Amino acid sequence: EDQNPGGYSAITSELKLAADWGKYWNRPIHLGEFGAYMKASPKDRAQYYRFVSSEATRLGMGWCIWDWKAGFAYWNRTRNDAHAGLRDALFP
């Protein structure tokens, strides 16, 4: 079992809470801005983005990432392309 207070179980629990609220009140939910800081490894960043976006999608939520080119960057300015693994993580 996941005992990490910021781990998969915690993320799923928080997303489900929001999704349940939306269903109860008949309101759409949009997960506005999630991301992983650039100092994390590319593999870990991709894993996090994949997990959060897929859980939000599974629960019927719209979502967006934070941010495009700064500290949580999706876009690699040097290569003019997405950072390693992120495109596939977000858009399988």
> Could you tell me if 18 and 61 are in contact, meaning their C-beta atoms sit under 8 angstroms apart?
yes
> Could you tell me if 92 and 53 are in contact, meaning their C-beta atoms sit under 8 angstroms apart?
no
> Could you tell me if 40 and 30 are in contact, meaning their C-beta atoms sit under 8 angstroms apart?
no
For tokens 């109860």, what's the residue? Answer: 24
| Per-residue pLDDT tens over the stretch 46-82 | 999 999 999 999 999 999 999 888 889 999 999 999 9
| Per-residue pLDDT tens over the stretch 11-43 | 999 999 999 999 999 999 999 999 999 999 999
Q: 9-23: buried (b, 16+ CB within 10 Å) or exposed (e) per residue? A: eebbeebeeebeebe
